[in-house]
Amino acid sequence: MARVVITRRLPGRALERLHAEHDVDVWPQRLPPAPERLRELASDADGLLTLVTDRVDGELLDAAPRLRAIANYGVGTDNIDLEAAAARGIRVGNTPDVVTDATADLAWALLLALARRLPRGEADVRAGEWKTWEPSRILGADVTGATLGIVGYGRIGRAVAKRARGFDMEVLHTGRHEGVPLDVLLDRSDFVSLHVPLTPDTRGLIGERALELMKPTAHLINTARGPIVDHEALRRALDDGEIAGAALDVTDPEPLPADHTLLGARNLIVIPHLGAATVGTRARMTAMAVDNLLAGLAGHRMPNQANEPAAAGRRA
């Protein structure tokens, strides 16, 4: 029986399967364990189930000599040093595919809320500002027939494009080996939706120059990773009217402090990383993470393995 550490309570019943086979320790608090506390918890762990907010680096791996399997609760793995894990013979798994539709749906919810200025309208009703129907009050942007630029054309990007067909939109996309150049996409799009992974090449991808290329009537939506967007450049672009608005499901840092300067920007929507936050999606994510851990702890390849451990790794 192996010892498994899970860094937060998870929805769904899949953890029952893990409890049936292994000794499971679930972090009970709402906030994640601090890095030093996580190292302590992992010090005698064989398996680790982490969230995307948990940093798994070489220091943590060195503090956990028994560790041989990590299941990340999310499609991204930028919070884990995959090479360091592989060098130590540690398998790392993630939860792809299952988050695709939920994240694409949320990207569209943000796009529509941003285009039609729903937060402003809702706030005015609650503040008693809605006195009468006014033809020129809170005018939004047309979505039907507009041009949608999708940056990153993987599973989620394609799902967003599929939904755009119902709005008769022209869809532009840029990917690793296909689509239009990013500059062309930014220049022509009325809405730009980000769906690239966080890598050294995509960190700060949407900065001052990229925002200057966008139309002053364009809107930016980010449901990928916060550091893909330069937040200070975005704040200036919104305040100076270089773009019409932005909606963020992810930020840098995350969570964003309540006094962060970005939150004072005009025409900005920020929500707390809700991309995969549906009952069904979260339960399926838990099940996939458990499947990955059970396989990894048994010495088998994980169903959704994100790295290739060295066969001669000291913990293989």
Rg (C-alpha) for the chain, rounded Å, is: 21
Query: What's the distance, Cα to Cα, between the start and end of the chain in Å?
Result: 17
Instruction: Give the H/E segment covering residue 160.
Output: helix 155-164
Q: Which residues are 72's β-sheet partners?
A: 50
Query: What are the tens digits of pLDDT across the range 48-105?
Result: 999 998 999 999 999 999 999 999 999 889 999 999 999 999 999 999 999 999 999 9
Query: What are the tens digits of pLDDT across the range 227-248?
Result: 999 999 999 999 999 999 999 9
Residue identified by tokens 């793995």 is 77
In this structure, are residues 280 and 252 in contact, taking their beta carbons and an 8 Å threshold? no
Query: What are the tens digits of pLDDT across the range 157-207?
Result: 999 999 999 999 999 999 888 899 999 999 999 999 999 999 999 999 999
| Whole-number Cα distances in Å, 94 to 37, 48, 50, 98, 255 | 23, 12, 10, 10, 22
Q: Which two tokens stand for residue 33?
A: 């364990």
Q: How confident is the model at residue 311 (pLDDT cuts 50, 70, 90)?
A: low
What is the pLDDT, as a whole number, of residue 312? 42
CA 297/CA 316 separation, integer angstroms: 10
Q: Which two tokens stand for residue 149?
A: 């630029």
In this structure, are residues 10 and 277 in contact, taking their beta carbons and an 8 Å threshold? no
CA 295/CA 77 separation, integer angstroms: 18
Q: How confident is the model at residue 155 (pLDDT cuts 50, 70, 90)?
A: very high
Supply the residues annotated as catalytic.
225, 254, 273
- Res 313 pLDDT > 90: no
Q: How confident is the model at residue 316 (pLDDT cuts 50, 70, 90)?
A: very low
Closest CA to 75 of 57, 51, 56: 51
Give 191's DSSP letter.
E
Q: Which two tokens stand for residue 40?
A: 């302590």
Closest CA to 25 of 3, 40, 10: 3
Query: What are the tens digits of pLDDT across the range 90-145?
Result: 999 999 999 999 999 999 999 999 999 999 999 999 999 999 999 999 999 999 99
CA 315/CA 85 separation, integer angstroms: 10
CA 249/CA 226 separation, integer angstroms: 8
Domains by residue range for the chain, with CATH: 3-98+279-297 (3.40.50.720), 100-270 (3.40.50.720)
Query: What are the tens digits of pLDDT across the range 270-304?
Result: 999 999 999 999 999 999 999 999 999 999 999 99
Q: Which residues are 92's β-sheet partners?
A: 70
In sign, the C-alpha dihedral spanning 299, 305, 311, 314 is negative
Within 8 A by CB and 6+ apart from 103, the residues are 156, 159, 223, 275, 276
Closest CA to 274 of 79, 103, 108, 51: 103
Instruction: Give the H/E segment covering residue 6.
Output: strand 3-6
In this structure, are residues 172 and 147 in contact, taking their beta carbons and an 8 Å threshold? yes
In this structure, are residues 250 and 225 in contact, taking their beta carbons and an 8 Å threshold? yes
